[in-house]
Amino acid sequence: MSQQKTPPVVLVDGSSYLFRAYHALPPLTTSKGHPTGAIKGVISMLRRLEQDYPGSRVVVVFDAKGKTFRHDLYDQYKANRPPMPEDLGVQIAPIHEIVRAMGLPLLIIPDVEADDVIGTLATEATSKGVDVVISTGDKDMAQLVSDHVTLINTMTEIPMDRDGVVEKFGIGPEQIVDYLALVGDTVDNIPGVTKCGPKTAVKWLQQYHDLDNLMAHADEIGGKIGDNLRDALDHLPLSRQLATIRTDVDLDFGIEEVSPEPEDEEQLLELFKEYEFKSWIAEYSGDNGSNDRQPSHNPADSSPERQYDTIFTEEQLNDWLGRLEQADLFAFDTETTSLRYSEADIVGMSFAIEPGKAAYLPLAHDYMGAPDQLNRDATLKRLKPLLESTDHRKVGQNLKYDKNVLANHGISLEGIAEDTMLESYVLNSTATRHDMGSLALKYLGEKTISFQDIAGKGAKQLTFNQIDLEQASEYAAEDADITLRLHQALRPQLAATGQLETVYQDIDMPLVPVLSRIEQRGVMINASTLKQHSQELAERMAELEKAAHEEAGEAFNLGSPKQLQAIFYDKMGLPVVKKTPKGAPSTAEPVLQELAHEHQLPRLILEHRSLSKLKSTYTDTLPELISPRTGRVHTSYHQAVTATGRLSSSEPNLQNIPVRTEQGRRIRQAFVAPEGYKLVAADYSQIELRIMAHLSGDKGLLTAFEKGEDIHRATAAEVFGTSVDEITSDQRRSAKAINFGLIYGMSAFGLSRQLEVERKVAQDYIDRYFQRYPGVLAYMDRIRKQAHDDGYVETLAGRRLYLPEINARNKQMQQAAERTAINAPMQGTAADIIKRAMVTVEDWLQSEHADEARMVMQVHDELILEVRESALDTICHGLEKRMSAAADLKVPLLVEAGVGDNWDEAH
DNA sequence: CGCAAATCGTA
DNA sequence: GTACGATTTGCGT
């Protein structure tokens, strides 16, 4: 008989899971409205633990109400904690009831926090030779890890032993307490070292090993952060004490006395019924009522069993095709050789019609020894009618990508009915990233196979055609399956809010094929003028570099802020105007601008920097992005990235092509139209201020726009109390800054810095502005209040932006959220409007002017088209008309279109 | 090779 | 003061 190792004791930090489940999982209630999301999260986690650690004793520990020894040490302990949300509080008692019914020991020790109970029990167990697993979502617990104690985060399935702690934090478990003391904790109100975050804390601890030693050498730390450390010396020992989990609490029982009882199945069934956990009810009301549970692999009780096929034969293909043709809606995903659609080829496709059942159709896996697969081109030909049919409705995750890839194979994907990425984005643009892995975890509670898991990473990463079919099938079929299930989870949530459904249905979904076509078209760029420009920039930069080295008296890298800091502030002793967020003296543009009044070197640096930026970002790079296939540049527009509803653009980012300087405009001159065509650039004039006028209904603002006045001039006249034609250029400039500041949720401080005037003067401008435009002030107050009350703000179309930080304890964070609250409705409404315009314009051009004009770019408030010269008048007129009509506001939406041989001229 | 910070381009 | 993406450096792996 071999010696069997005793199974570990599993100590569960119930309180940490309570909060994690509450925040991580979608809100869920019973039909009567009792919240149950946190209950379900915690209980499924416990059930999972029981399965994962068969034979282990599972002990559940919760915090008790009331004060603990830490409050005695420090009366401000946890003073910043917000009260527990009501819909969380009511879930605690049910959790306790269910845990008891499950027969698990439940420890709630008065005056002792769960952490300390766990620390004490863990220490006791290890001293008796029993290993311990602590299940928690709280990283502070890492201090308890040892050779016999590991942590497991059940929600993310990441276990952490000693090496894991070192890997995650960069320091050992015994250094965690010091780390926590240095970083501090705003929620628990534990003061740390100002501006010392995880990076700095780890760096110090790696160098000085522990807090005592670091404090002894505090005078060795330079910079502002060193001062901060020295300022903190007095309270650091207390912080460390507060962060230390106790392992010596006087409990009046021992670990071996804490033992499980048999499950009370009747009681459990009753509770599951009460809280409407369907799959668990089924389990407990089953025929024999015994304990042999379905192995449930995740916290969602709707997780179906998986049956994934791989399609190798004609028969299988026919079978699936038949069923896809019958389906009301099917999920679909392509696997390709590249993330860049412009160079991606199809490797395989996956499909799902009902949850849990999916198939992968491999077509081009070509690694050594790959099984025979159906012929790609012949099979795509067979799929073509289905994929090109608008009657066969498809759901996918970012179908724009699939549409672009299929286009490379001569297939025009139609019937794009639903997109899970956009569903999630419209539901809550900031709750999560909108990639499939994140969505699966958040909305289904499932961890999916990541591409890295099967393809590796870095330079050695495989492309999908090189991946073993067994793994590829599992991965690809899961994609289609999860997509379908995500859709089933998300679509009802959208439908529950009529306005959000409209935003999804009428704005974001119709835009998908429009963007797809713009991306596929690409834009024409004159590579030779850009290369010529690069040459000239290089020559000028060489001159500047030489001059700078002479000025500094030594050679250095002009591109390195760090080396610049050394030369400016250490060697030349220039005054420090401003510091970076990390406390280093800044060498940012406005600072150099300031120093340039007095010194030659910053002037040289400034010019060198701006040229270097232009060269590396644009003149060198843009020619490299020209597709050899089309001779044009194909950006990617991202529809689910920004918080406000705007698009973003990458590879290349076409939304930050220079315009302000002459050198910059030369880059715009390289964006050209083909022979016989011109570029037309049409932009909305002052769209955000007009939206502000509409939303606020302010009389003065509305009148100014109705009369078609120069709005900055009109504002200047109001604020400075003069007539419109007496306004100086300086006054107009100030008014313009005020108007922009308004859109950004300005403060007097910000405005004063912008205008380089005293703060009091800036405040005076703002006061006078609000006096003259009282409707704007009222609107701002209304928005702030709405943000605080509802936790979100919305655009005119009803697109929401959630602001979780709006009621933060930290005043700075709260104010930042308020500025976002002010800005988002304007920025977001403008985004909604241009999105609608794009759909209308594309439809119009496709149906009436297919050979004469096409959209090639969007830059937030501007559309750029290629237009045949013979059609210029018609198109410009029709374009302005449609863009203006994209929204019906209380003020006219003015659109200004320009024509030119290149983008600069058209602007 | 991967990541964070600093910087700078746009609306 | 809002919203983004790309590049470079510097550092640690």
What tens digit of pLDDT does each residue of A672-722 get? 999 999 999 999 999 999 999 999 999 999 999 999 999 999 999 999 999
Q: A603 CA to C8 C1', in Å?
A: 20
> Under CATH, what is the fold of the domain A9-165+245-257?
Rossmann fold (3.40.50)
Establish whether the CB of A861 is closer than 7 Å to any nucleic acid atom in strand B. Answer: yes
Q: Which residue has the closest alpha carbon to B10 C1'?
A: A656
User: What pLDDT is recorded for position A154?
Assistant: 66
CA distance A716 to A724: 8
One-letter amino acid at A655 equals Q
| In chain A, ranges of CATH 3.40.50.1010 domains | 9-165+245-257
User: What pLDDT is recorded for position A290?
Assistant: 38
Spacing of C-alpha A808 from chain mean position: 19
Spacing of C-alpha A92 from chain mean position: 31
CATH architecture of A307-496: 2-Layer Sandwich (3.30)
Q: A489 CA to B4 C1', in Å?
A: 36
Q: A598 CA to B11 C1', in Å?
A: 33
Establish whether the CB of A644 is closer than 7 Å to any nucleic acid atom in strand C. Answer: yes
Phi, psi (deg, nearest 5) at residue A350: -130, 155
CB atoms within 10 A of CB A896: 13
Establish whether the CB of A238 is closer than 7 Å to any nucleic acid atom in strand B. Answer: no
Chain C footprint bases within 7 A of protein beta carbons: 1-13
CA distance A62 to A58: 13
CA distance A628 to A295: 52
Q: Which residue has the closest alpha carbon to C2 C1'?
A: A744
Nucleotide nearest to A559 (CA to C1'): C8
User: What pLDDT is recorded for position A585?
Assistant: 78
Question: What is the sign, positive or negative, of the torsion defined by CA atoms of A785, A789, A794, A797?
Answer: negative
Establish whether the CB of A532 is closer than 7 Å to any nucleic acid atom in strand B. Answer: no
CB A664 within 8 A of CB A873: no
- Burial environment of residue A113 by CB neighbours within 10 A (0 to 12, 13 to 18, 19 or more): buried
SS3 A232: helix
CA distance A542 to A316: 65
User: What pLDDT is recorded for position A673?
Assistant: 97
Calculate the dihedral angle through the C-alpha atoms of A363, A365, A366, A371, rounding to the nearest 10 degrees.
Answer: -90
CB atoms within 10 A of CB A3: 5
CB A189 within 8 A of CB A75: no
CB A873 within 8 A of CB A662: no
Report CA-CA distances (Å) from A746 to A518, A765, A807, A813. 36, 12, 19, 15
DSSP code of residue A618: I
Phi, psi (deg, nearest 5) at residue A526: -90, 100
- Burial environment of residue A629 by CB neighbours within 10 A (0 to 12, 13 to 18, 19 or more): exposed
Establish whether the CB of A153 is closer than 7 Å to any nucleic acid atom in strand C. Answer: no
CA distance A59 to A104: 6
User: What pLDDT is recorded for position A171?
Assistant: 82
CB atoms within 10 A of CB A139: 17
Establish whether the CB of A610 is closer than 7 Å to any nucleic acid atom in strand B. Answer: yes
User: What pLDDT is recorded for position A33?
Assistant: 76
CB atoms within 10 A of CB A156: 12
One-letter amino acid at A865 equals L
Paired residues of A680 in beta bridges:
A865, A899
Examine residue A652 and say whether the peptide bond preceding it is cis (omega within 30 degrees of 0). Answer: yes
User: What pLDDT is recorded for position A25?
Assistant: 66
CA distance A408 to A344: 8
Q: Which residue has the closest alpha carbon to C4 C1'?
A: A648
User: What pLDDT is recorded for position A158?
Assistant: 67
User: What pLDDT is recorded for position A296?
Assistant: 33
CB atoms within 10 A of CB A137: 21
Nucleotide nearest to A580 (CA to C1'): B6
Establish whether the CB of A664 is closer than 7 Å to any nucleic acid atom in strand B. Answer: yes
pLDDT along chain A (907 residues), means of 10: 70 87 74 83 86 87 84 74 78 90 90 91 91 88 91 74 78 86 76 75 78 79 71 82 89 84 85 83 59 39 86 98 98 96 96 98 95 98 98 98 98 98 97 94 91 87 94 97 97 92 98 98 96 94 90 83 81 78 76 81 87 92 94 96 96 94 94 97 97 97 96 96 95 95 91 90 95 96 95 97 90 92 97 98 98 97 98 98 98 97 96
Q: Which residue has the closest alpha carbon to C8 C1'?
A: A559
| In chain A, ranges of CATH 1.20.1060.10 domains | 525-661
In chain A, residues 473 through 502 whose Cβ sits under 7 angstroms from any atom of nucleic acid strand B: none
Report CA-CA distances (Å) from A294 to A298, A305, A579, A894. 11, 10, 59, 63
Residue with tokens 């409205």: A33
Establish whether the CB of A29 is closer than 7 Å to any nucleic acid atom in strand C. Answer: no
Establish whether the CB of A733 is closer than 7 Å to any nucleic acid atom in strand C. Answer: no
| In chain A, ranges of CATH 3.30.420.10 domains | 307-496
Domain A525-661: top CATH class? mainly alpha
CA distance A232 to A213: 15
Q: Which residue has the closest alpha carbon to B2 C1'?
A: A458
SS3 A342: helix
